[in-house]
Each structure stands twice: as structure tokens, then as C-alpha cells.
Chain A
Amino acid sequence: MAYSDKVLDHYENPRNVGSMDKDDASVGTGMVGAPACGDVMKLQIKVNAQGVIEDAKFKTYGCGSAIASSSLLTEWVKGKTLDEAQQIKNSQIAEELALPPVKIHCSVLAEDAIKAAISDYQAKQGKESTSKSA
């Protein structure tokens, strides 16, 4: 199967590979896996006091399309508010990377990963505010 130029670019020069401290209160971590292909994606976001995503990192174990989907997503979410990032749809990723139908699940993985990272961050903030008020 031929990868698109954009997939190849992200695959060969992945952006924002790495990891952040998952115990940092300003970091949200999303871990998702696709059972059908065994791919596993870890996506982390660092959120500032204004609710804007300052930085994003990923680590993906899987095929080129999964790596490209997460690489692209980390580029997209930087500078976005949590609400804006929450709106990103897998179809936008699939379209940007020209993913073939059999690789759509890679973009689904990326969408679920950012949603999971956001809810992890929000759960941490919720816990903090309760412990502060308590």
C-alpha cells in the first residue's frame, strides 16, 4: 500500500515525539489502543492557566499512518484551547493525510487519544480544586 506524501513526511520526521511528566497537574495523558491492528498511542498535552494547550508530545507504537496521525494532531492542538481541541474530528486528520479507508482507524485512534488526554487533564483539575476547597 502506498502512503501519501504527507504521511511519509510525518513518518520520517515525526513532530513532537516524547513524553512529559504524567504526574504534573498541568499535563493530561491519553492512552488508547486499536485492538484491530494492535497499535498503541500515548498523547500528552501541557495546558496553561488560560486553558490553552502550550505543548503536546506523543509516542506511538504502530504503523506509519498511526504515527503520522498522532504527529499531525500534536501540531494541530498546540495553541488551541481545550474546547477547540475537543472539536477535532478523525475525518479532518484522515483528509489531511489522505488516509485510505483501511487506515481510517488510525485517525480514530488520534481523535480518541486527544479526548482522553483532555479528560485526564480535567479530572486532575477537578481533583485539585476539590482538595483545595476541602
Chain B
Amino acid sequence: MSIDLKQNYFALFGLPVTYAVDRAVLDQRYRELQRLVHPDRFASAPDQERRVAMQQATRINEGYRVLKDALARGRYLLELRGHRFDDERNTHQDSAFLMEQIELREDLAAVRGSRDPFAALAAILARIGVRLAMLDTELAATLAQDGIPATALTAIQRMQFFRKLAHEAEELDADLEDGS
């Protein structure tokens, strides 16, 4: 068995280098690859082989994590095409989009004081879900073009904002469930 550690994650999983990924195929390939490098198979193997199997397992896990996640996969694909993300310097300046972000933050902050916090939060989560699904579609369309489309970079940025919001909303949801 040989797994080339230098090949990109798409190649590692035998998938075409595209944003659209068939989740069922990805999951199946992941299980197959995991089986190939499972530590049980190398229990009595020489140290060197065990170490290689472990490196491969790590690479497979990391590849799976990236490919199954829309945002991570989009970023990875753009990196393969030569884009270097500079998160420290990267800012977004579309006022209308940022106003919506502020509005959603304010809605989120008002959840606790509302008459039905669970319903209010569910509405926000649903709205975030819709926007994330739209961005996923947008990213698929724009990344179907070659190169590094500016529209793809914008969609990635927007997805990052909504992911952050989703994370905060989910944390609040957990707090509410705990009654805190």
C-alpha cells in the first residue's frame, strides 16, 4: 500500500479538484483510507512503517476535515490555485453586508430579553442557515471558473462572518438550554 503524502487532498481521496464534492463518496473514501493505515494493521510492523502509517492517518484526517467543510474546502481550493490568504490584513468593506452583520449581532444580543428567547434564536439560526446555503451555491458557481475570482474571495469572507455568527448563536443556544 502506498499513499503519497505530497499529493493534494482531492487526489488523496481520489476526487476531482472541484469545490462541489460528493459527500457520500468522500465519506466512503475516508473509511477505506482509514482502514488502510489503521494502527491495528501495523501493531507488529517495524517502527519505521508504524511511523509512516501514523503520518498517513494524520494526513487523511486533516484532508477529510478540510474537504467536508465548505469554507475550508473553498479556501484550500483557492490556495491550490496559488492564492495566499492573509487573515491579519484581510478586511471586508461592503457597507450593506456589514450593516446586516451588525443587525444580526443586535438581534442576537436581544434574544435573552425577548418574550420567547428560543423562538427568537431559532429565527436567527434559520436566517444564518439560509445565508450560508446561498453562499455555498455562490461559491460553487464562482469556483467553477478557473483562476482566483474576486467573487470567490468575497464569498469566502462572507462565509467567515456567517460562520462566526453561527458559532455565537449556537453558544447562546447551549447557554439557554442550560438555563444560564
| A and B interact physically | yes
Q: Which residues of B contact A35 (CB under 8 A)?
A: 87, 90-92, 156-158, 160-161
Closest chain B residue to A105, Cβ basis: B88
Chain A residues within an 8 Å CB radius of B122 = none
Expressed in whole angstroms, the Cα–Cα distance for A37 and B161 within the complex equals: 8
The total number of A-B Cβ pairs within 8 Å is 61
B20 at interface, CB cutoff 8 A = no
Secondary structure at the B interface, as helix, strand, loop or mixed, is: helix
Q: How far is the CB of B166 from chain A (nearest CB, A)?
A: 10
Contact B98 A36 (CB under 8 A): no
List chain B residues, Cβ under 8 A from A116.
93
| CB within 8 Å for A105 and B101 given contacts A37-B164, A38-B160, A38-B165 | no
In the bound complex, how far is the Cα of B92 from the Cα of A74, in angstroms? 20
Q: Which residues of A contact B90 (CB under 8 A)?
A: 34-36, 105
Interface residues of A in 39-84 (CB under 8 A from B): 40, 42, 59, 61
Given contacts A38-B165, A40-B102, A42-B102, contact A31 B95 (CB under 8 A): yes
Q: How far is the CA of A50 from the CA of B97 in the complex (A)?
A: 33
- Size bracket of the A interface: 10 to 19
Provide the residues of chain B in CB contact with A38, threshold 8 Å.
Answer: 101, 160-161, 164-165, 168
The CA of A112 and the CA of B90, in the complex, are separated in Å by: 10
Count chain A CB atoms within 10 A of each CB in B95, B97, B105 and give the residue with the most.
Answer: B95
Give Cα distance in the complex from A105 to B98, angstroms: 17
Known: A40-B101, A116-B93. A33 touches B88 (CB 8 A): no
Nearest chain A CB to B78's CB is how many angstroms away? Answer: 14
Given contacts A31-B93, A61-B101, 16 further A-B contacts (CB under 8 A): A31-B99, A32-B92, A33-B92, A33-B93, A33-B161, A34-B90, A34-B92, A35-B87, A35-B158, A36-B88, A38-B101, A40-B98, A40-B105, A104-B88, A108-B88, A109-B91
Give me the interface of A with B, judged by CB distance under 8 Å. 29, 31-38, 40, 42, 59, 61, 104-105, 108-109, 112, 116
24 contacts between A and B (CB under 8 A): A29-B95, A31-B93, A31-B99, A32-B91, A33-B91, A33-B92, A33-B93, A33-B98, A35-B87, A35-B91, A35-B92, A35-B156, A35-B160, A36-B87, A37-B164, A38-B101, A38-B160, A38-B165, A40-B105, A42-B98, A105-B89, A105-B90, A108-B88, A108-B89
